[in-house]
């Protein structure tokens, strides 16, 4: 059960420095206000008979009147880790602009290629960042700083932070990255150093807990929607046409679910959180056959992590990527082959088109919503770090920006709730059965 302690944000000490931001503490004077430490965001707004968390709150994100660091003593560094995601450059740019123009911090550095950039054996140097170096980076996808998977010993990372004199580390990454950032914090704490570490939730999978939305998700859905539109055109233009689209989502099916809702032409949405079976009465292939009998075309969207239990006999020995994630079997190709095989045995002609837009989805520049959102997260991460907040990330909850302790954010992976509103809307949109498992 969650307690108030789980929501407590750590600080480096008392904030005594007056912020250089020319904001107000007076309500009603027509001037933008500082955020008070007493400002809170309710964790739970929808209460049920079983609710136990009505008195739990997130700390509100935003600039404080008193900050911990003197701006001329700050050396800040930015790092991007994990896979690519729309919005990385937008966030990097806003971080630099906020530090330089709003807090008068002139010593800003970029860490190249993720954690490896803080490993002396990798041979990467820090990049000096200024408004001039980042002025146009938001117009491109990818990461201006480069990124990589894999971990570096946090002791080595902290040694490098000390060597470079870094006292603010801002890290853009997903669930694994934020776990790594917490490990860095633990070494900093053990050594009793005054270094702030603040995370920004970057993952198109949208699987960081206690964060309603992560940047990159909206752009990913925008691109995936176009892939599904093409699949629908192909399917509808052929007799018994099938459009099969695989999208990213290792453990969480948010991209698949939201793409389905955005498109309205999807007939089957398959996600990791909801198991399905291929064969038997009421199973996926039988329902697909009925769909073709009635309408002679179908569109399927599948998350990359779906149906992994069906591939057990085909995957062989487990292998892992540099981040320690189990390499998934290719559910897209597997499903394509199984569908073709099923209808061939029944002598039913089908015309299947398979589309995998995965790397297009994650490498594009942001759409308008993500551009705004990523930049906001960047600025707020600077506000938090300058105020001495640490071991936390900037979250988004009930339409408000929050401070989320890293242990809370990484306590579990956020997933689509099979009993919740989002999945209910998906089922209503597709018309697929509540269950695609075989039954008697």
What does the H/E/C string look like for the chain? CCCHHHHCCEECCCCCEECCCCCECCCCCCCCECCCCCCEEECCCCCCCCCCCCCCEEEECCCCCEECCCHHHCEEEEEECCCCCCCHHHHHHHHHHHHHHHCCCCEEEEECCHHHHHCHHHCCCCEECCHHHHCCHHHCCCCCCCCCCCCCCHHHHHHHHHHHCCCEEEEEECHHHHHHHHHHHHHHHHCCCCCEEEEEEECCCCCECCCCCCECHHHHHHHHHHHHHHHHHHHHCCCCEEEEEEECCCCCCHHHHHHHHHHCCCCEEECCCCCECCCCCCCHHHHHHHHHHHHCEEEEEEECCCCHHHHHHHHCCCCECCCCCECCCCHHHHHHHHHHHHHHHCCCCCEEEEECCHHHHHHCCCCHHHHHHHHHHHHHHHHHHHCCEECEEEEEECCEEEEEEHHHHCCCECCCCCCCHHHHHHHHHHCCCCCECCCC
In a domain, 152, yes or no: yes
251 and 272 inside one domain: yes
56 and 127 inside one domain: yes
In a domain, 44, yes or no: yes
Residue 319 burial class via C-beta count within 10 angstroms: exposed 0-12, middle 13-18, buried 19 and up: exposed
In a domain, 440, yes or no: no
Encoding tokens for residue 193?
A: 């150093």
Supply the CATH number for residue 397's domain. Answer: 3.40.50.450
- Residue 318 pLDDT: 56
What's the order of all strands across the beta sheet hosting 400-405?
A: 40-42, 57-60, 400-405, 392-397, 196-201, 168-173, 75-80, 107-111, 127-128
In a domain, 439, yes or no: no
Are the beta carbons of 159 and 153 closer than 8 angstroms?
no
- Residue 320 pLDDT: 46
235 and 351 inside one domain: yes
Chain centroid offset of residue 148 CA? 16
38 and 155 inside one domain: yes
Classify strands 400-405 and 57-60 as parallel, antiparallel or unpaired. antiparallel
376 and 394 inside one domain: yes
168 and 301 inside one domain: no
Encoding tokens for residue 360?
A: 């297009």
Are the beta carbons of 283 and 268 closer than 8 angstroms?
no
Are the beta carbons of 344 and 65 closer than 8 angstroms?
no
348 and 372 inside one domain: no
130 and 274 inside one domain: no
Length of the chain counted residue by residue: 440
Instruction: Put residue 155 in one of left, alpha, beta given phi > 0 → left and psi -120 to 50 → alpha.
Output: alpha
In a domain, 414, yes or no: no
Q: Domain tally for the chain?
A: 2
The phi, psi pair for 338, rounded to 5°, reads -65, -40
In a domain, 38, yes or no: yes
Task: Answer yes or no: 205 catalytic.
Answer: yes
Classify strands 66-67 and 127-128 as parallel, antiparallel or unpaired. unpaired
387 and 356 inside one domain: no
Query: Can you give the residue range of the structural domain that contains 74?
Result: 4-215+366-409
- Is the entire prediction scored with pTM above 0.75? yes
In a domain, 436, yes or no: no
Q: Identify the CA nearest to 274 among candidates 439, 437, 438.
A: 437
Are the beta carbons of 105 and 74 closer than 8 angstroms?
yes
Are the beta carbons of 35 and 61 closer than 8 angstroms?
yes
424 and 315 inside one domain: yes
350 and 392 inside one domain: no
* Marked catalytic residue, from 119, 175, 205, 383: 205
pLDDT in tens, 103-148: 999 999 999 999 999 999 999 999 999 999 999 999 999 999 999 9
Classify strands 196-201 and 392-397 as parallel, antiparallel or unpaired. parallel
Supply the CATH number for residue 306's domain. Answer: 3.40.50.460
- Residue 45 pLDDT: 84
18 and 151 inside one domain: yes
In a domain, 240, yes or no: yes
Q: Which regions of the chain are under pLDDT 70?
A: 48-54, 313-326
């Amino acid at each position: 059960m969650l307690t108030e302690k789980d929501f407590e944000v750590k600080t480096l000490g008392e904030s005594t420095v007056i912020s250089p931001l020319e904001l107000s503490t007076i309500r009603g004077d027509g001037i933008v206000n500082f955020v008070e430490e007493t400002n809170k965001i309710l964790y739970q707004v929808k209460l049920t008979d079983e609710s136990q968390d009505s008195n739990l709150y997130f700390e509100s994100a935003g600039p404080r009147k008193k900050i911990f660091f003197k701006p001329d003593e700050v050396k800040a560094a930015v790092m991007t880790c994990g896979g690519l995601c729309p919005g990385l450059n937008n966030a990097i740019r806003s971080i630099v602009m906020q530090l330089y123009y709003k807090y008068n911090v002139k010593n800003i550095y970029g860490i190249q290629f993720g954690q490896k950039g803080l490993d002396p054996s990798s041979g990467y140097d820090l990049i000096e960042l200024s408004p001039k170096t980042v002025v146009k980076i938001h117009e491109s996808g990818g990461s201006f700083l480069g990124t990589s998977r894999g971990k570096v010993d946090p002791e080595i990372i902290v040694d490098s932070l000390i060597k470079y004199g870094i006292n603010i580390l801002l890290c853009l990454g997903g669930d694994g990255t934020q776990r790594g950032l917490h490990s860095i914090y633990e070494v900093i704490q053990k050594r009793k150093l005054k270094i702030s570490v603040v995370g920004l939730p970057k993952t198109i999978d949208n699987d960081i807990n206690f964060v309603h939305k992560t940047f990159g998700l909206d752009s990913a859905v925008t691109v995936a929607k176009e892939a599904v539109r093409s699949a629908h055109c192909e399917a509808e233009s052929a007799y018994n046409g099938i459009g099969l689209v695989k999208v990213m989502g290792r453990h969480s099916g948010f991209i698949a679910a939201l793409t389905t809702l955005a498109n309205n032409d999807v007939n089957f949405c398959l996600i990791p959180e909801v198991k399905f079976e291929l064969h038997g009465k009421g199973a996926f292939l039988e329902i697909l056959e009925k769909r073709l009998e009635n309408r002679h075309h179908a569109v399927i969207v599948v998350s990359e992590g779906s149906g992994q239990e069906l591939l057990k006999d085909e995957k062989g020995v487990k292998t892992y990527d540099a981040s320690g994630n189990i390499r998934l079997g290719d559910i897209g190709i597997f499903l394509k082959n199984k569908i073709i095989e099923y209808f061939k045995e029944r002598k039913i002609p089908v015309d299947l088109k398979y589309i995998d837009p995965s790397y297009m989805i994650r490498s594009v520049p942001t759409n308008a919503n993500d551009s705004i959102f990523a930049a906001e997260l960047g600025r707020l991460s600077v506000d938090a770090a300058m105020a001495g907040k640490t071991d936390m990330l900037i979250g988004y909850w009930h339409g408000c920006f929050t401070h989320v302790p890293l242990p809370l954010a990484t306590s579990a992976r956020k997933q689509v709730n099979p009993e919740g509103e989002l999945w209910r809307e998906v089922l209503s949109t597709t018309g697929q059965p509540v269950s695609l498992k075989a039954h008697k």
